[in-house]
Chains A and B, each alone.
Chain A
Amino acid sequence: MDFSSIPAALPALWDGLQTTLQLLVLGVLGGVLLGTLLAMMRLAHNRLVANLAALYVNYFRSIPLLLVITWFYFAVPFALREITGEDTPVGAFASCLVAFVMFEAAYFCEIVRAGIQAIPKGQMSAAQALGMTYGQSMRLIVLPQAFRKMTPLLLQQSIILFQDTSLVYSVGLIDFLNAARSRGDIVGQPHEFLIVAGLVYFVVSFAASQLVKRLQKRLAV
């Protein structure tokens, strides 16, 4: 084992890590947004709307993320051409991001739904008794409390997403893992670079999950 060529590769690894972090942040933001929307649909009184959201969630939860990434890599450019009528080149980054947002939304939806359902009914009734509309009571009363309760779970899911971003390797996007792999191949030390990549993933996820655990204890009632 010879780790001497790692320092020279740090800029390239950092570039890869930035791609990973961009995917993570945008994926979590988009996923939580879409997931919250889905959760409200699942809780809607309209049966059709609720069932549609349930179908979406069950569908994405029963197929592998890797399948979604691969499929969207081919399908997103195709769909865009259908919509815009002309060839719109989208990179692997955009198609991967769409895949993550749509896939993770199914998981975030279930977290948000559980969070909303954990809020006592009286909160909603009280808000509406004060004259708020359904939308207002959700936005101003229920969701803020629900999000506070489910922050640890959302963060845990984000840590899982951080690890899952490595799957973009399959469509050739240069994320952190792919940067380490290709650097390692170039300098002929694939093992060393793979170990370093694993270590970095480990340190980040481990530290983050320890923080989440502490947060969970502090937020616990």
Chain B
Amino acid sequence: MDYNWDWGVFFRSTGIGEEIYLDWFVAGLGWTVAVALAGWIVALLLGSLLGVLRTLPNRWLSGLATLYVDLFRNVPLLVQLFLWYFLVPDLLPEPLELWFKQDLSPATSAYLSVVVCLGLFTAARVCEQVRTGIQALPRGQTAAALALGLRTGQVYRQVLLPQAFRIIIPPLTSEFLNIFKNSSVASLIGLMELLAQTKQTAEFSAHLFEAFTLATLIYFTLNMSLMLFMRWVEKKVAVPGLLAAGGK
């Protein structure tokens, strides 16, 4: 193969200031993590709320949540991102629009759009998991809680949700990992996260394969360590008495 492999490229100067290429990757990873974590918080909060709404007896409320899920699951992520980044700012009231377009730095406005986009996109998926978790609980739980005089809010807060969340940790984990992978779309609206930095390194240094190999390794390691961490969490909080708890 006449490709000139050189793994030392990451420690070479980028020609911009004092930076070496590895600095770009570190900065990119920082953005990726920042996008994914903020998006996850939005997704978890909104998704849980929607998941609860979907299980309520009130037709209107559960219908609203179903509509949300159908809408956000059937439009491609990239289209949603473009809508949030290009369209929505134009629909804002003028002071907000000016703030978004002029006061914010390009990185900040892109970051905000991606976080909102990924958060709402993932919320639809989280909603379905939360709903499944709640519906997986025996009906007697709700009945018993109501019979004890708890109000609906209390039933969810103190009886249903604490159990449901512990059951759905495995599917939630895969959504959590997905949000890290999905955050790479941010590169398409100019946020310099991991993938964008990789592309830039490949172009600047002409060491295409090394750059993409390193990016792959970073994503792979990130994924594996998050998975191991979530497995540990899962064991910690397993509901005693269920098969998943390992016969405790």
Contacts and interface: CB of A to CB of B under 8 A. Distances in A.
A75 B209 contact: yes
Contact of A70 (B82, B183, B199): B199
B130 interface: no
Contact of A177 (B79, B90, B199): B79
A64 B212 CA distance: 12
Interface in A164-195: 164, 166-167, 169-170, 177, 181, 190-191, 194-195
B208 A202 contact: no
Interface of B: 1-3, 70-71, 73-80, 82-83, 86-87, 90, 177, 181-185, 187-188, 195, 198-199, 202, 208-209, 212, 215-216, 219-220, 223-224
B220 A59 contact: yes
Nearest 5 pairs between A and B by C-beta? Answer: A62-B223, A205-B74, A163-B76, A64-B181, A64-B184
Interface centre among A62, A65, A163, A197 (most CB of B within 10 A): A62
Given A62-B181, A166-B78, 13 more contacts: A64-B219, A67-B216, A74-B202, A75-B212, A163-B75, A170-B187, A194-B86, A195-B83, A198-B79, A198-B80, A201-B79, A202-B75, A205-B75
For the residues of A in contact with B, the DSSP-based class is: helix
Contacts of A209: 73-74
B83 A198 contact: yes
A177 B78 contact: yes
A28 B196 CA distance: 28
B87 A194 contact: yes
A206 interface: yes
A67 B78 contact: no
Interface in A47-62: 59, 62
Given A67-B216, A206-B70, A201 B195 contact: no
Given A62-B223, A63-B219, A71-B212, A206 B74 contact: yes
11 contacts: A62-B220, A62-B223, A63-B181, A63-B216, A67-B219, A70-B212, A78-B3, A167-B78, A169-B78, A191-B90, A198-B75
Contact of A202 (B1, B74, B184, B209): B74
For the residues of B in contact with A, the DSSP-based class is: helix
Contacts of A177: 76, 78-79
Contacts of A78: 3, 208
A82 interface: yes
B214 to A, nearest CB: 11
Contact of A62 (B76, B185, B224): B224
Q: Size range of the interface on A? A: 20 to 34
A70 B197 CA distance: 12
A169 B181 CA distance: 17
A66 interface: yes
B109 to A, nearest CB: 17
A78 to B, nearest CB: 7
A191 B90 CA distance: 9
Nearest to A180: B79
Contacts of B82: 181, 194
A63 B183 CA distance: 11
A197 B82 CA distance: 11
A66 B185 contact: yes
Given A75-B209, A169-B188, A170-B188, A201 B75 contact: yes
Contacts of A163: 74-77
Contacts of A67: 184, 195, 198, 212, 215-216, 219
A164 B78 CA distance: 8
Contacts of B2: 82
